[in-house]
Every structure is written in C-alpha cells, then in structure tokens.
Amino acid sequence: MKVIVLNDALEISKDAAEIIINQVNKKKDSVIGFATGASPVETYKRIIEAYERGDVSLKHITTFNLDEYVGLNRENVNSYFWFMKDNLFGKTDVDFDRVNFLSGLAEDTEAECERYSKRIRECGGIDLQILGIGTNGHIGFNEPGEKFADGPFAVKLTQSTIDSNKKYFEAVGDTMPEYALTMGIGDIMRAKKIILIATGASKAKAVKALVEGEVTAECPASILKLHSDVTVFLDNDSAALLGERK
Ligand code: F6R
C-alpha cells in the first residue's frame, strides 16, 4: 500500500485526478468504480477541468458506483446517482448508458445485487476504484462487523455512518435512510487498481487502523493491505495519528 501525505485536499485532488485521467487516456473504455461523499469532490472538479481543457474524454468509460441508499429514486438530491450527475457525470461527456448503479428502489434487493455483480463481471471487472473511508473504517458501505462480504448486499447503516451523513438529509428536511445497497469487499478487492482519499481529523483514527492496524473486519478498509496496487492519499490532519514513516 502506497501512502502519500499531502498538505490539503487541493493537492490531493491534483494527484488523484492525474491517476484517473492517465488511466482513461491509456484505456479509453476503462471501467471506473466511483465513490460519492465529500472526499472525492475536489478530485472530480479537477477531472471536469481537464475535460473542459480537452485533456480527457470520459465518453467511452463504463462506471460502477459503490453504493446507493435504499428507498431513494435517482431524482432525489441525496441519492448517490444525483450526486454523481451533479459532481461529475453531468459536467463531462460521460455516456449515461454506460453508468451503472445499484437501484435503491429495487423490491428484490437480492436479485438487484446479483444483477450488479453479474454486470461488473460482464464488463471485465473494475480497472480503477476510487474510495473514501468512513470515520468507522467502512469502505463503500461495508460497515465494521464480523466478516468481509464478497459481492453486493443490502446493509443496515451504523449509527456512526448515520451521524456522519444525516446533515445532507436534514438540510432538505428529510430523514436519512437506514439501509443502503453496497458493493462488497470482494468487488472492491477485485479492482485492478485502487485509490483511497481521506482528509480531515475525523478520519485520523480510521486511517491509523487502515495503515497500521491488523487486517480485520472490524476495520473493513484494513483489507486493502492485501491488495497489490493501492494508493492512499492523506492530508496532514487525517495522517496525524500515524507513526513515523520512512
Ligand atoms: C461513498 C462511500 C463511503 C464514503 C465514506 C466517506 O460512496 O462509499 O464509503 O466514501 O463514507 O465519506 P466522506 O467522503 O463524505 O467523508
């Protein structure tokens, strides 16, 4: 695992965007796994800027997002589909026919998860997966628990995740859903390349468990240590609890 500590989110966004842009320029039809949330927003801005300069086209990429809230339709401003449309896809030439999402409205969540899993396989797997990390060490919505999940599944969100994200729902007078559909750890680990972005002091404990702790389902992100191509981008605050690094 390569750990890169930079000064702030802006510096991280430049380096992280460069990796994504290089991936797409090297393989126009790359399969990219996207994350939502605050962590990748600056990076997505750098990609939009590169697109506007004509330095990259996302027209031929296929996308898979990590997760979606149960019960939200795509027009809901707090759905992750809307987030991606608003923060990246709708501001570039992403082809919406190649955008894949778990459906928060699926009645049969098991069948929906199976469909998504099959779709990832049909597309040849994920070339590059972008991740954030929860304050409790989750990746995607793989919450701390007793074992690592392989494929996509329906998850009851922990109080920690609800406490971190409920502000977005409260801002529009809604209540945050308690359930989500998420890619499993297996789906994430099968990605050929992974980048994880963590900023801010609230992530420091989870980052320490990720970088220095043992591999345990109690910190789902810790499994990334077993992947051969992971780059972790940290700012000084999220890296604050790490020991001396060579
Ligand atoms: C989002 C996702 C989550 C977030 C994590 C960090 O699609 O899967 O794992 O990456 O909760 O969220 P932020 O970036 O908002 O701190």
The one-character DSSP state at 178 is S
Task: Establish whether 110 is a catalytic residue.
Answer: no
Of the candidates 23, 88, 94, the residue with the CA atom closest to the CA atom of residue 60: 94
Q: C-alpha angle with apex 187: 12 to 207, nearest 5 degrees?
A: 40
* First and final C-alpha spacing in the chain: 13
Ligand 1 mean position, distance from CA 182 (Å): 12
pLDDT at site 244 = 80
Task: Establish whether 163 is a catalytic residue.
Answer: no
pLDDT digit string, tens, across residues 149-198? 999 999 999 999 999 999 999 999 999 999 999 999 999 999 999 999 99
Q: Is 191 inside any structural domain? A: yes
Range of the domain at 167: 2-235
pLDDT digit string, tens, across residues 13-22? 999 999 999 9
CATH number of residue 223's parent domain: 3.40.50.1360
CA distance 98 to 84: 13
pLDDT level of residue 246 (50, 70, 90 thresholds): low
Q: Is 243 inside any structural domain? A: no
| CB of 39 shorter than 6 A to ligand 1 | yes
Task: Establish whether 146 is a catalytic residue.
Answer: no
Ligand 1 mean position, distance from CA 195 (Å): 13
Q: Is 185 inside any structural domain? A: yes
Of the candidates 125, 127, 116, 122, the residue with the CA atom closest to the CA atom of residue 28: 127
Q: Is 6 inside any structural domain? A: yes
| CB of 207 shorter than 6 A to ligand 1 | no
The protein residue with its alpha carbon nearest to ligand 1, atom 8, reads 140
Q: Is 34 inside any structural domain? A: yes
Task: Establish whether 107 is a catalytic residue.
Answer: no
Query: Beta partners for 63?
Result: 32, 99
- The yes-or-no verdict on residue 218 having pLDDT over 60 is yes
Q: Is 102 inside any structural domain? A: yes
- The yes-or-no verdict on residue 245 having pLDDT over 90 is no
Q: Is 64 inside any structural domain? A: yes
Q: Say which of 138, 165, 187, 235 is annotated catalytic.
A: 138
Q: Decide: 42 and 85 in contact? Cβ < 8 Å.
A: no
**Residue among 42, 78, 133, 203 to mutate when testing ligand 1 (max atoms within 8 A of CB):** 133
Ligand 1 mean position, distance from CA 148 (Å): 18
Task: Domain count for the chain, please give it.
Answer: 1
CA distance 122 to 2: 30
Query: Beta partners for 62?
Result: 31
pLDDT digit string, tens, across residues 96-147? 999 999 999 999 999 999 999 999 999 999 999 999 999 999 999 999 999 9
CA distance 143 to 123: 26
Q: Is 218 inside any structural domain? A: yes
